[in-house]
Amino acid sequence: MTKIKFGTAGWRAILSDEFTFDNVKRVLDAIVLYIRQERIDRPVVVGSDTRFLAKQFREMTAEHLAKNGIDVLLTNRDCPTPVISFVIRNEKLAGGINFTASHNPPEYQGIKFSPSDGALAGTEITKTIEAMIDQPVKPIDKRGTITEINPMEDYLKSISRFLDFEIIGKAKLKIAYDALYGTGRGYLDELLKRAGADVTVIHNELNPLFGGSRPEPSKENLGELISLVRENDFNLGVSTDGDADRFGIIDSNGTFFEANKVLCLVAWHQFRNKKKTGRIVRNVATTTFLDRIAGYFGVELVEVPVGFKNIGPYVIEGNVLVGGEESAGLTIGGHVPDKDGILACALVAELIATEKKTLKEIWNDIEQAVGTGWNDRVDLELDNEKKEAILNNLAEHSKEDFLGRKVLKFNGIDGYKFTFSPSEWVLVRPSGTEPIIRCYMESDTPENGEKLKQDLMEFVN
């Protein structure tokens, strides 16, 4: 029998191999037990992405929950992950169940559970649910109701509160959007059109194979968008992943802006242009360039383990300006406590409309204020033996020197992070969603960064 274990973003597995209807029912039974234990007599929202059998999984889930006495709000179509979080909070629900493997390859599917606060279930909750798997569920006489909902309008109205449509409209922006065959289609393009932008959309139809690649808004997957922007005088190119919780950003000249830079751009925009304040919350793998911006504006910087489930509680607590992670996840205070690629793309559009500059020009302004920086990430696909050997080697290694450099600070909250100076560090950690080891590195200049990268690759190889 398949052992089901939640990672940093729910449980993911290969369709029809481990991710089967029978195994999903085992998870659902455990969620039913958890909801009964919490004694929250409110409905649960159920949604999914655009993958194979996603519609069947969400319909089966609605029926399974109703059979166990739980009222269900069933989305009328595939639904972005941040919208599930929004519905939970807006309708004051018991929680939400979302079928998505996010940016994973097409053969994967996943299930995410969010409790009543709308954030992705934290480790304490997922461990409780894991422990309840295969425990008997006592039948009850009361049957729950199933109500189909379309949350798009309420979500778009809510997110519009964070944007200045007048500024965006006056800028007459020409924006290209690559939906990557995911759930963001009809959401992000509609939001930008309402703001007054001229929007061209590609890959906005249902395609469970995602055009033959991963639905990840990375530079490698956005070649068509990059060409479209570069060759047709667009002001901006934007993209969202399969469940629209991650973002991809292209400058007007076709340059891909990595997520770390986008987080900094949005934080800068919130502070400088929108005159807002609050803490910046980032995970241990995300650029410390954000620390410099926090220092520049005199606000607190909070570092947490990888996984947006560790950022969400701070957003709920309040006094957060921006929460983000280098894997293209972002939210802002007052919005949902889960990452939202739709919001991220819209805020970048508002930024260039406000400053009347390209992203490159704005980035140069930021570097003038807080200094230069370089970062990179290398993902290593390794067998378990090699993976464990690297992690064991790191565990036993001196925490006072590493890669021939004196360690200023060691952080073991998630993987192995060695900081050599305020602007130079490396982190090695196993992925929580895929069978790989991720290597992160950051330095003050490209020259120093490439040397750091070379030394780290020699160590892990």
The per-residue pLDDT for 8 is 76
The distance from CA 332 to its chain's CA centroid, rounded to whole angstroms, is 13
pTM to 2 decimal places: 0.95
For residue 219 the two structure tokens come to: 């530079």
pLDDT given for residue 159 in this prediction: 98
- Which of the two residues, 232 and 461, has the higher pLDDT score? 232
Q: Which of 93, 159, 185 is nearest to 350 (CA)?
A: 159
CB atoms within 10 A of CB 349: 26
Q: What is the pLDDT of residue 383?
A: 83
**pLDDT single digits (tens) 331-362:** 999 999 999 999 999 999 999 999 999 999 99
Question: What average pLDDT does the structure give for the chain?
Answer: 96
pLDDT band at 1, cuts 50/70/90?
Answer: confident
Is 80 exceeded by the pLDDT of residue 434? no
DSSP-derived secondary structure letter, 225: H
C-alpha 299/C-alpha 26 separation (Å) is 45
Q: Report the alpha-carbon distance of residue 304 to residue 437 in Å, rounded.
A: 19
Instruction: Work out the end-to-end distance of the chain between its first and last CA atoms, rounded to an integer number of angstroms.
Output: 35
- State yes or no: pLDDT of 411 exceeds 80: yes
pLDDT at 9 over 90: no
Contact assessment for residue 273 and residue 356, using Cβ atoms and an 8 Å cutoff: no
* Chain segment 254-312, per-residue pLDDT in tens: 999 999 999 999 999 999 999 999 999 999 999 999 999 999 999 999 999 998 999 99
Q: Which helix (DSSP H) or strand (DSSP E) does residue 47 occupy? A: strand 44-48
CA 227 to mean position of chain CA atoms: 25
**Which band of pLDDT confidence, cut at 50, 70 and 90, is reported for residue 382?**
confident
**Residues facing 178 on adjacent strands:** 202, 239
* Residue 375: predicted pLDDT: 94
Size of the chain, expressed as the number of residues it contains: 461
Domains in the chain, CATH or no CATH each = 11-152 (3.40.120.10), 169-370 (3.40.120.10), 374-460 (3.30.310.50)
pLDDT at 425: 97
Cα-based torsion angle of the residue sequence 303, 392, 260, 220 in order, rounded to the nearest 10 degrees: -150
Q: What is the pLDDT of residue 377?
A: 94
Percent of all residues in the chain with a pLDDT value above 70, rounded to a whole number: 100
Q: Let me know if 255 is exposed, middle or buried by CB neighbors in 10 A (0-12, 13-18, 19+).
A: middle
Residue position matching structure tokens 């200049």:
445
Kindly state the tokens that stand for 128: 């409780």
Compute φ and ψ for 158, nearest 5 degrees.
Answer: -65, -45
pLDDT digits (tens, 9 = 90+) for 142-152: 999 999 999 99
Q: Give me the half-sphere count of Cα atoms (radius 13 Å) on the Cβ side of residue 224.
A: 13
* Other CB atoms within 10 Å distance of the CB of residue 6: 23
If you search the block for the tokens 């021939």, which residue do you land on? 404
DSSP summary character for residue 400: S
* C-alpha distances in Å from residue 341, one per residue of 8, 165, 185, 228, 282: 18, 18, 12, 20, 16
Look at residue 443 in the predicted model and tell me its pLDDT. 97
Task: Reduce the DSSP state of residue 454 to 3 states and report it.
Answer: helix
In angstroms, the CA 275 to CA 51 distance is 41
DSSP summary character for residue 8: B
Q: How far apart are CA 153 and CA 337, in angstroms?
A: 19
Structure confidence at residue 180 (pLDDT)? 98
Of all residues in the chain, the percent with pLDDT exceeding 90 is 93
What lies within 8 Å, CB to CB, of 299 at 6+ separation is 271, 277, 278, 279, 280, 321
Strand blocks (E) in 60-217: 72-75, 95-99, 108-114, 146-149, 174-178, 198-202
